[in-house]
């Protein structure tokens, strides 16, 4: 029997989507109580769609974990996709010619355990200090306490990874459904407990999405601990990114204590 490969595309709005509907599954995250965009909704079956204002794309991951029948599962975003080589974005680009094809995914999964985006290198920051400067270090401190309580075998790895100066960001990956289940069974109890412990009263909508950001760091912890065969791939934005503004915001956070107030 042939293997089933699925890559969910987390989105909260209508956007251009891949033509290959067998491989790519657009998922409307945070769809509970929202207009139907015509994509798979994350509030069907076993779901946590209502937590999307806090968990971001994790509600889509949870839906796929619990409800999607496949042998291999990936997660990308409506504006970020894996590609086979670095390419600059331009308005006339055909996304279907640059994103991974089904044949490429099958070949990759026959060779490695996990596909991840190219590491983001911070150079003058660690994963911990970057989060502390751009958001709030207490989020990671409480996360560490939770890991110490519920997954103490991961504590040394957490400390090691937080000292790294690079990491796999954006909650993007492709791996076997078995590995996805292993990851989710570890991740969600930690994130759920963090949600219970943190008082986010008065947080802006941007700041309240912290649980998705913390999970980016936790993915690196899980991956490091599991010691899986990983392959890094380039990824491509499907819209223009203001790199100057992004760099300016990073430096303002690092040297002047100005926290991030928006996504880039």
Instruction: Give one DSSP letter per residue of 19-80, joined into a string.
Output: S-TTTEEEEETT-TTS---SSEETTSSS--GGGHHHHTTHHHHHHHHHH---SEEEEEETTE
Would you say residue 152 has pLDDT above 90? yes
Would you say residue 252 has pLDDT above 90? no
Q: How far apart are the C-alpha atoms of 182 and 225, rounded to whole Å?
A: 12
Section 41-58 average pLDDT? 99
* Number of domains present in the structure of the chain: 1
Residue 186 placed within a domain: yes
Average pLDDT along the chain: 93
Residue 263 placed within a domain: no
Would you say residue 245 has pLDDT above 60? no
For residue 244, what pLDDT band results from cuts at 50, 70 and 90?
A: low
Burial status of residue 255 (CB atoms within 10 A of its CB: 0-12, 13-18, 19 or more): exposed
Q: How far apart are the C-alpha atoms of 67 and 81, rounded to whole Å?
A: 22
Host domain of residue 183: 5-256
Residue 261 placed within a domain: no
**pLDDT tens digit string along 117-128?**
999 999 999 999
Residue 230 placed within a domain: yes
pTM of whole model > 0.85?
yes
Residue 262 placed within a domain: no
For residue 83, what pLDDT band results from cuts at 50, 70 and 90?
A: very high
Which residues on adjacent β-strands are paired with residue 166?
121
């Amino acid at each position: 029997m042939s293997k089933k490969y699925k890559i969910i595309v987390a989105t909260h709005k209508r956007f251009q989507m891949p033509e290959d509907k067998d491989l790519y599954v657009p998922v409307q995250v945070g769809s509970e109580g929202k207009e139907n965009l015509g994509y798979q909704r994350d509030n069907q079956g076993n779901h946590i769609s209502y937590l999307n204002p806090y968990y971001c794309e994790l509600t889509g991951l949870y839906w796929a974990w619990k409800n999607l029948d496949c042998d291999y599962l990936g997660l990308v975003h409506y504006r970020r996709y894996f590609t086979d080589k670095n390419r600059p974005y331009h308005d006339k680009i055909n996304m279907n010619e640059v994103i991974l094809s089904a044949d490429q995914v099958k070949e990759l999964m026959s060779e490695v355990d996990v596909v991840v985006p190219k590491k983001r290198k911070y150079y003058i920051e660690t994963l911990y200090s970057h989060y502390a400067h751009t958001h709030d270090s207490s989020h990671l401190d409480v996360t560490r306490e939770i890991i110490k309580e519920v997954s103490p075998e991961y504590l040394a790895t957490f400390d090691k990874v937080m000292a790294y100066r690079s990491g796999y960001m954006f909650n993007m990956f492709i791996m076997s459904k078995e590995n996805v289940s292993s990851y989710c069974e570890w991740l969600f109890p930690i994130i759920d407990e963090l949600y219970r412990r943190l008082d986010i009263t008065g947080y802006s909508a941007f700041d309240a999405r912290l649980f998705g950001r913390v999970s980016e760091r936790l993915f690196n912890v899980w991956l490091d601990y599991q010691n899986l065969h990983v392959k890094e791939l380039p990824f491509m934005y499907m819209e223009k990114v203001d790199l100057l503004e992004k760099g300016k915001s990073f430096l303002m956070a690092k040297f002047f204590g100005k926290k991030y107030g928006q996504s880039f």
